[in-house]
């Protein structure tokens, strides 16, 4: 179905903004996100600590019983709130490195990353690697706007003073700049208290030395401009989650990566087979809408689609494309090295290595290894590699990877990139140059 879409963005009186909360493990992400949500939606009920009776704001996001009993986030969780000019989707991501793949899923489609850092500077050394991994994932995942919240300013050793805030700010800047972020992408660095609410919605009286905006103010002011050419492209969305609805069509949720989608539009999904379906309804922030444009987080109710037919990581497209063979694939890729952690012995030809393709995982075998001088080698030793170096590889997939879309980075920067992990650490970001035998 054809439709003129100039109206998609114009019809929205509010703008939509996807905000992901990141930061090292236990820095207070869920508490900050939960407290902000409660301030925006006073009707929400917050659990209280059984002994201290203090509100547990994190419980608004940490909803799994395991998360509540362990006191840590495992999966990513989303919630919605709105202010006078913005519909927010808040995504609270896990900080514990073991759940990094859930963080990657939560981060997908975010326009702003709020980094919650623990002001206790002693911890920065320990969490530098976690922050480097998360910032690298943001940078290569096209998250252009960063907001930093320096949390726990109420800590008894900090007492709302700025010394430790200043230290942590300069450390964070160093890491962010090294990865490639520019100063104007760091929108604000706000001293806060997640438990007490200082500088979340109202300026704190206890930190008069801070002259910048509150968290909500800066989020409301973040500008997100998508290039016209991205808005005009055919609709595309990666399936971030799948919801079975009893006696109704399956809903697939994700963020519109390009183009627009409208009710009754015919769409295609290349899963194990090419599925042709149409959009029965569109949900955005718990409301039904007629059309959605690039950057919006939506749920699409798709006609006659069964949940078992598709996978997280599949792509919903406006145009039918040839089905991609998802096993025995060989690709050439340039790997931008994040950290020199090819364990102790280096990176070898024939070595197996784990990757994350947007929302799915894959294991590769390195068939060819070309060093930064362009020479084919059997091994790259750790001492020869530095952060930011580029290594070229030919990789073959060990098993089929459902979320691989057969797309190079030139064709689509989001689908044509992957993250390489080894022993739980992010060792680099792969950029697909060529697909040797996928179709
Ligand atoms: N004193 C103080 N404690 C805080 C503050 N913010 C969070 N906390 C406490 O820090 C602990 C961890 O908070 P969470 O919000 O669960 O931390 P998180 O970053 O979401 O943790 P993960 O998701 O597991 O990485 C909890 O006990 C919170 O009550 C704060 O501003 N001040
Ligand atoms: Mg958490």
State the distance from the centre of ligand 2 to the C-alpha of 65, rounded, in angstroms.
13
- Across 63-210, the runs of DSSP E, i.e. the strands, are 77-82, 86-92, 112-118, 145-151, 186-191
User: Which has the minimum average pLDDT: 127-136, 236-245, 422-431?
Assistant: 422-431
- Measured from CB, residues less than 6 Å from any atom of ligand 1 are 23, 25-31, 58, 72-73, 94-96, 151-152, 154-155, 193-195
Domains and CATH numbers, the chain: 14-221 (3.40.50.300), 229-317 (2.40.30.10), 326-437 (2.40.30.10)
CA-closest residue to ligand 1 atom 2: 152
pLDDT band at residue 121 using 50, 70 and 90 as cut-offs? low
- Judge whether residue 2 has pLDDT over 50: no
Query: What is the tens place of the pLDDT at every residue in 69-102?
Result: 899 999 999 999 999 999 999 999 999 999 998 9
Nearest protein CA to atom 23 of ligand 1, as residue = 73
Atom of ligand 1 minimally distant from the CA of 54: 29
Closest-lying ligand to the alpha carbon of 150?
Answer: 1
User: Which residues are CB-contacts of 306 (< 8 A; sequence separation ≥ 6)?
Assistant: 250
* Residue 72 CA, closest ligand 1 atom number: 24
Contact in structure between 174 and 166 (CB atoms under 8 Å): no
The ligand whose atoms approach the alpha carbon of 32 most closely is: 1
Residues of the chain with pLDDT > 90, as a percent, come to 58
What torsion, rounded to 10 degrees, do the Cα atoms 135, 137, 143, 145 define? 0
| More confidently predicted of 8 and 177 | 177
pLDDT tens for each residue of 216-235: 999 999 999 888 999 999 99
What is the rounded (10 degree) CA torsion for 57, 59, 61, 63?
-170
Strand partners, 83: none
361-385 in b/e form (b: 16+ CB < 10 A) is bbebbbeebbbeeeeebeebeeebb
Confidence label for 167 from pLDDT (cuts 50, 70 and 90): very high
More confident residue, 238 or 34: 34
Q: Minimal CA–CA distance to 190: which of 170, 215, 162?
A: 215
Name the closest-CA residue to atom 32, ligand 1. 152
CA of 308 to the centre of ligand 2 (A): 30
From the CA of 113, how far away is ligand 2's center (Å)? Answer: 15
pLDDT at 129: 86
For the CA of 71, the closest atom of ligand 1 is: 16
Closest ligand 1 atom, residue 192 Cα: 31
Distance 69 CA to ligand 2 centre (A): 12
Higher pLDDT pick, 126 / 93: 93
Which one of 195, 196, 197, 199 would you pick to mutate in the ligand 1 pocket, going by the greatest count of ligand atoms within 8 A of its CB? 195
Whole-number Å distance, alpha carbon 183 to ligand 1 midpoint, is 27
Alpha carbon nearest to ligand 1 atom 21, residue: 26
Ligand 2 center–CA 134 separation, angstroms: 14
Q: How many Å lie between the centroid of ligand 1 and the Cα of residue 58?
A: 8
Best of 31, 36, 90, 91 for a ligand 1 pocket test (most atoms within 8 Å of beta carbon):
31
Supply the pTM of this predicted model: 0.91
Greatest Cα pair distance in the chain: 64
From the alpha carbon of 57, which atom of ligand 1 is closest?
15
pLDDT > 50? residue 213: yes
CB atoms near residue 17 (< 10 Å): 24
Q: Return d(Cα 145, Cα 211) in angstroms, integer.
A: 20
Q: Report the C-alpha gap between 239 and 59 in whole angstroms.
A: 26
At residue 262 the predicted structure's pLDDT band, cuts being 50, 70 and 90, is very high
Identify the residue with better confidence: 7 or 64: 64
Q: Rounded to an integer, what is the distance from CA 32 to the centroid of its chain?
A: 18
**355-412 pLDDT, tens digit each:** 888 777 888 899 999 888 888 999 888 777 888 888 899 999 888 777 787 788 888 8
């Amino acid at each position: 179905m054809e439709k003129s879409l100039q109206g998609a963005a114009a019809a929205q009186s509010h703008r939509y903004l996807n905000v992901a909360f990141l930061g090292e493990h236990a820095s207070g992400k869920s508490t900050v996100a939960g407290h902000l949500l409660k301030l925006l939606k006073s009707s929400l009920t917050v659990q209280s600590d059984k002994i201290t009776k203090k509100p547990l704001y994190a419980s608004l996001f940490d909803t799994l019983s395991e998360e509540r009993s362990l006191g840590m986030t495992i999966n990513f969780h989303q919630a919605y709130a709105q202010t006078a000019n913005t519909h927010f989707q808040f995504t609270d991501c896990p900080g514990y490195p073991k759940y990094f793949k859930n963080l990657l899923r939560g981060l997908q489609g975010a326009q702003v990353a709020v980094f919650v850092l623990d002001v206790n500077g002693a911890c920065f050394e320990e969490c530098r690697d976690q922050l480097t991994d998360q910032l690298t994932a943001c940078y290569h995942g096209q998250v252009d706007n960063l907001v930093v919240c320096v949390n726990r300013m109420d800590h008894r050793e900090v007492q709302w003073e700025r010394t430790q805030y200043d230290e942590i700010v300069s450390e964070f800047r160093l890491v962010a700049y090294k990865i490639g972020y520019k100063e104007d992408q760091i929108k604000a660095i706000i001293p806060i208290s997640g438990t007490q609410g200082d500088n979340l919605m109202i300026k704190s009286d206890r930190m008069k030395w801070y002259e910048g905006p509150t968290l909500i103010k800066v989020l409301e002011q973040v500008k997100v401009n998508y290039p016209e050419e991205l808005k005009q492209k055919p609709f595309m969305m990666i399936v971030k989650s799948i919801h079975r609805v009893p006696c109704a069509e399956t809903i697939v949720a994700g963020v519109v990566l390009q183009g627009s989608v409208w009710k009754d539009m015919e769409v295609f999904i290349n899963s194990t087979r090419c599925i042709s379906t149409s959009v029965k309804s569109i949900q955005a922030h718990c409301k039904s809408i007629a059309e959605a444009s690039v950057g919006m987080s939506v749920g699409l109710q798709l006609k006659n689609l069964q949940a078992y037919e598709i996978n997280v990581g599949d792509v919903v497209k406006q145009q039918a494309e040839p089905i991609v063979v998802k096993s025995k694939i060989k690709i050439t890729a340039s790997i931008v090295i994040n950290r020199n952690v090819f364990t102790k012995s280096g990176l070898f030809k024939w070595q197996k290595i784990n990757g994350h393709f947007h929302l799915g995982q894959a294991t590769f075998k390195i068939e060819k290894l070309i060093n930064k001088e362009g020479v084919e080698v059997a091994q790259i030793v750790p001492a020869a590699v530095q952060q930011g170096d580029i290594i070229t590889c030919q990789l073959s997939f060990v098993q089929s990877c459902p979320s691989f879309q057969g797309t190079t980075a030139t064709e689509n920067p989001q689908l044509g990139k992957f993250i390489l992990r080894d022993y739980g650490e992010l060792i680099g970001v792969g950029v697909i140059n060529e697909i040797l035998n996928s179709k």
